[in-house]
Amino acid sequence: MGGRISWIGLAATLASCSASSAQLHVDVRTDLTPGIEFVVTRVEVFRDADAGAAIDTTDHAALGSESYVRGQRVADVALANGDYRVHVELIGARSALVVDRTITAHLSGDLSITVVLTRSCVGIVCTGSEVCIAGQCAAPDCLSGGCTPQCASVASCTAGAACASASCVEGACFYASTPGACGASEWCDPRAGCVALTTPLDAGPSDATTPSDGSVQNDAASCSCAGRACGDDGCGGGSCGTCGAGTSCSGAFQCTSDPPDCSGLACGPAHNGIGGADACGVCGSAMMCSGGACIPTPPDCSALTCGPAHNGIGGPDACGTCGAGFTCSGGACQCGGGGAACAAGSCCAGLSCTSGNCCVPVQSPCGSGCCPGRQCDASRGVCCVVIGDGCSSDGQCCGYPNHQCGGGICCAVIGQGCAHPAQCCSGTCTSGTCR
């Protein structure tokens, strides 16, 4: 029955025995409910190289009083030392296979194995050599390092129904019923909650008999869909219905809500669209969900060219810095006003970068402060060149037209005051006047 394969973890303990014979002890751990979701545990042993019939078959009636969550002994088989294949099946009412798994075992003395079969592998069909591990098909050696476990602790497992409790068992999430959580006429489906019983909890294989050859046979007269909302009628005679979108048929043949498929996702919506926008989790502070992964939130620089971001991410210059001489104000680079430290081209219109500061050049309105060495010509309201300093036109000189640009120097015309001859454009300075 190799179509349906469950996840399995093995824990083996060797003990000394005779050189020729040994005892194989088989325990089963599962989060399926004994007596309801399965009623028989079957263990078949084959010689490893032999494709023939099983050399030993053990059927163990699954009772609701047994603790399969912690581990239940289901077979003790006396075998000669050697290599074997061990096939374990969980069988439902009317011989329906629920889940199974084949493993290999080497005996050189007494050997105990624990086979873990999870609810999440019910109905999973893997192809080729892959097996079902925690609800997903993977290589058989996955647990030896070929894949990441579904959980490292119970904190990694999503919550089930209120009547169930989650646990992490050998890297897989277990969802088992909590004793006493449901009424006496109910049982706990970890996905759907408390469900009315359709068979006694300890019914065992009530619709089957176990002949001496180890096979389980159906009582065809008892096949029906009573108490079944979906799946087959237990004897392969027909279907009891199908489940709608977002639901699946449980081992108890009831339609239950599908859990979100968050495989490979840390946040956002599930692959199967179940659970809403945050079904697979939300990201922490300063993080955002992108393609199912939490990544750092980028700075929000909409309409900003410099300074801190709108959302406070990235530091004081998250949205960029301004060039030399410019300042950042309100998210925009501002030119330098009068008196501001400057670099070439950083001063606002009408100002000149002179001696490292923005200032008003000659023949421009004085308002923001004239450049060093220049004065404001009160009569004209513009910055001007004082007498004795270099000039390129008459209008640059303070006191124009009485002072004009002569020979590249601002000087006084005839009849204007002077302190020495060099201040006169022509003639000489006599008694404080150019003559």
Of the listed ranges 8-12, 118-122, 243-247, 353-357, the one predicted with least confidence: 8-12
Q: What is the pLDDT of residues 151-177, one digit of tens each?
A: 888 888 887 788 988 888 888 888 888
pLDDT tier for residue 3 given thresholds of 50, 70 and 90 = very low
CATH topology of domain 13-148: Immunoglobulin-like (2.60.40)
Residue with tokens 């692959």: 271
For residues 277 and 270, what is the distance between their CA atoms, to the nearest angstrom?
Answer: 8
Return the SS3 of 95: helix
For residues 356 and 336, what is the distance between their CA atoms, to the nearest angstrom?
Answer: 11
> Once rounded to an integer, what is the mean pLDDT over residues 57-81?
91
**Sequence ranges of the domains in the chain:** 13-148, 325-359, 366-435
Reading the block at residue 308, the tokens are 């801190």
- Predicted TM-score of the model (pTM): 0.44
- Res. 426: pLDDT tops 80: yes
Reading the block at residue 128, the tokens are 């080729």
- Beta strand extents in 356-426 (DSSP E only): 357-359, 374-377, 382-385, 403-406, 409-412
Cβ within 8 Å of residue 313, ≥6 positions away: 286, 296, 297, 298, 299, 300
Per-residue model confidence (pLDDT) at position 412:
95
Residue with tokens 């449980």: 250
Q: What is the pLDDT of residues 87-144, one digit of tens each?
A: 899 998 778 889 888 888 889 999 999 888 888 888 888 887 777 777 778 776 665 4
Per-residue model confidence (pLDDT) at position 195:
87
Q: Which helix (H) or strand (E) segment is 165 a member of?
A: strand 164-169
- Res. 2: pLDDT tops 80: no
Q: Are 55 and 45 in contact (CB under 8 A)?
A: yes
pLDDT tier for residue 238 given thresholds of 50, 70 and 90 = low
Distance of CA 168 to the CA centre of its chain: 20
Reading the block at residue 351, the tokens are 């100002």
Cβ-in-10-Å burial (0-12, 13-18, 19+) of 331 comes to middle
For residues 150 and 28, what is the distance between their CA atoms, to the nearest angstrom?
Answer: 20
For residues 135 and 174, what is the distance between their CA atoms, to the nearest angstrom?
Answer: 11
Per-residue model confidence (pLDDT) at position 388:
92
Q: Which residues of 240-266 are buried (b: 16+ CB within 10 A; e: fewer)?
A: beebeeebbbbbbbbbbebbbbbeebb
